[in-house]
Structure 1
Amino acid sequence: MSRRGTELMTTASRQLDEMTEFFGTLEEADLRRPCPDDDAGDTVGAIAVHTAQGYALLGRFLQATGYVPGATGGGGHGHGPCRSRGGAPGLLPTPATLRTQVSAATAPIGRLADLTDEQLDSVPRPGSSRFADGHRSLEQVIDAVIDHQAAHLAALKQAVQ
């Protein structure tokens, strides 16, 4: 365990707790609301699904790139384009489904503490995640995911005020 990995895990875990608490306040009518800061015209529900799945995607990226044990090889994008949200058109998640998705991200986030300083300083190959540009270190990529998640959560909160 590295101190930096533990700090990343702590930050992401707090954010997951905040998401779980926020999703617990939502009603199904909230999920149908448009999200005002979203250029694609997505609903609160679609962005909530995207946000709830974000850390699971980070976990798959860490596995696919070999940073943590598990499946290796292609298909592990750390975070797909933001325009691929919400699943099938017209289907809204329930608040309970969102909380379940966030809960499922607990295990991948726990693996952040296992990352070594050497791994955190390494540069993931470009294209292995939308946040990996061939210049950012793994730690910077993870920080970018955390910031991205925070921006979505803030937009969601604003949309349901």
Structure 2
Amino acid sequence: MTLPRPPAGWKRPAMPKRVKAAVFVRQGGLCADTGVKLGVGDDKFEYDHRPALWEREFDPDARRGLGDTIPPANDPDHIQAVVCRSHKARSAKDTARRSKENRITGATRGRDKSDRFAPPARGVDVLRPEKPKEKTGRRYDWPKRALQSRNNLARRTRPEPTKEI
């Protein structure tokens, strides 16, 4: 049984050094996009999966039950070494394509864009929106607690005023 996409919580396996070396040697040390020599000067390089992992089918029984894409995520034949700026541009295009696909198929979380401009539901007061709930928890109220403990400490350690006679 295969799935059309990897599941949401799936983490790809780390890319072994032997796979990176095989990709680098196969390309002759040149970028797959630009033909620039990799690793020279300030041009760092990265390894790019083609097709992107999110576009591949997923086999949940591969890798002893951990699951893997089809073809496998670390297959050197489906990985390219490219300079960072080229990889960034590729990833931006992939992200745009993925977002559009999610919008079309309805896979987006929350509301659709058309819902944002829909008239408000009955009973919702547009002029007086609900007051946001006060955030509680360690992350948001630590300054208040820190000040309280500092004031309490100052009260305890402050010497008593002496009266002169």
What TM-score bracket applies, with the shorter chain setting the length?
under 0.3
Larger radius of gyration: 2
TM-score by length of 2: 0.26
Structure with greater proportional strand content = 2
**Going by fraction, where is helix more abundant, 1 or 2?**
1
Structure 1 length normalisation: TM-score? 0.26
Query: Which structure has the higher relative contact order (CA within 8 Å, separation 6+)?
Result: 1
